[in-house]
Structure 1
Amino acid sequence: MWFNLIAIFVLGIAVAGSVMLGFKAFGRKPPRWILPIAAGIAMMTYTLYNDYSWFSRTAGALPQSVAVARSYEQTNPLQPWTYLFAPVNRFVAVGRVVPAPGETGYRMAEVHLLQRYVPTVTATMVFDCAGGRRADLVDLDGFDEAGEPIGGRWQPLTPDDPLRSVVCAEGGGPPSA
């Protein structure tokens, strides 16, 4: 976040300096209003580009073995234009999907929670595709001999849940790494 703020100010100064040099090259004096307007337009353009392209740049940098399951848009009262076109500032991606231990038919998946300006969190979850539920592996005490999770709290999943759609897809989600 601090890097972006510094980059925005440096960009504003660089654009104002370039405009001033352009006027000097033609032997003219720039109007007083042109430098702050040019710097402001450049800073605003960079901010909009950075906000609205974060999701595509971040998701595009993920390995092919990771599939984006869901994205979330967010509005901000300090950026009123986000009420018209809200940028995506967080998303959920599914990495490696493997069968859970035992003959239960459960699947274990690495679920990555990515949010702008926040470190990425990766959690391993167990999915019961037939039963429409999931449990976080951190809540579990392991698996019993039959492959049933011990001590986990199952969370219900709706049939159209994006995580369920990716993990329980016919092929088993994204390619295993």
Structure 2
Amino acid sequence: MLLDVVIAACAAFAALGVMLICFKALRAKPPRWLGPAVAAVAVVAVTATLRYQWAGRMEAMLPKEMVVVERLATRSPFEPWSYVKPVVTTLVLADKGTARTNSAHADLVLINVLIVRRADDTLVTRHLVDCAGRREAVFPADAPFTSDGLPEDLVWAADTPPELITTACTVRPSAGIGSSSRDESHMHKIKAVI
């Protein structure tokens, strides 16, 4: 965010410099209102460009284990151009490296989902993906378990991003492969569900 402010300020000064050079070449004096207007237009233009480029820059920096499963765009009256082309401000990522399965529930995959927001903290949640049912649910941290080792009261999402299902169900790793000690203890805790 600070970098965006610095870039916008530099753009404003650069635009003012170009304006002054042009007027000097013409041997004319610019009106007093033109300087602030040029600076404001430069700041708005650069800020809009940076906001549109944010998602692409983030995706380019992602490790190969991270897959973008959804891009959430917004419109705002403070950015009228966003009604023509919405600005992507949130990326939903699936971390293939965290995918876990268990032979007792072969159609289920446990996978970390990250919600990356522009100028905000990243949220990490665990999701249970049902490959046979083409659905997913947020995996509750301290949920009680049923007799078959699955969490009780799972709330299956009605609008699961298809790419999340595809990513989770394509990985299908063996149980415990590549898991950290923290993941292993969590897996043990959930009765080897996934």
Q: Report the TM-score when normalising by structure 2.
A: 0.71
- 8 Å contact from structure 2 (residues 135, 157) kept in 1: yes
Shift of 1:137: 2.8
Shift of 1:68: 0.4
Write the distance in 2 (CA, Å) between the matches of 1:159 and 1:91: 14
Give 1:68's aligned residue.
68
Write the distance in 1 (CA, Å) between the matches of 2:167 and 2:87: 23
Deviation track 1:22-76 (CA, whole Å, cap 9, x = no partner) reads: 755x594541254334323321221121111111111111111111001111110
- Count of aligned residue pairs for this structure pair: 172
Matched, 1:38 2:42: no
How large is the RMSD of aligned CA atoms in angstroms?
3.2
The code of the aligned residue for 2:30 comes to P
- 8 Å contact from structure 1 (residues 125, 135) kept in 2: yes
Alignment of 1:123-162 (within 5 A): 123-141=125-143, 148-156=149-157, 161-162=162-163
Q: Which structure 2 segments of 5+ residues have no match?
A: 179-194
Report the CA distance shift for 1:73/1:46 in structure 2 as closer, same or farther (over 3 A). Answer: same
Specify which structure has the higher proportion of helix: 2
Shift of 1:130: 1.1
- 8 Å contact from structure 2 (residues 135, 160) kept in 1: no
Alignment of 1:46-57 (within 5 A): 46-57=46-57
- 8 Å contact from structure 1 (residues 66, 94) kept in 2: yes
Write the distance in 1 (CA, Å) between the matches of 2:37 and 2:157: 53
Write the distance in 2 (CA, Å) between the matches of 1:142 and 1:100: 19
Report the CA distance shift for 1:79/1:27 in structure 2 as closer, same or farther (over 3 A). Answer: closer
Shift of 1:19: 3.9
Write the distance in 2 (CA, Å) between the matches of 1:99 and 1:15: 53
Q: What percentage of aligned pairs have identical amino acids?
A: 21
- 8 Å contact from structure 1 (residues 75, 86) kept in 2: yes
Deviation track 1:81-120 (CA, whole Å, cap 9, x = no partner) reads: 1111111111211112523345201111111101112111
Q: Secondary structure at the match of 1:31?
A: coil
Report the CA distance shift for 1:9/1:156 in structure 2 as closer, same or farther (over 3 A). Answer: closer
Write the distance in 2 (CA, Å) between the matches of 1:44 and 1:159: 36
- 8 Å contact from structure 1 (residues 128, 134) kept in 2: yes
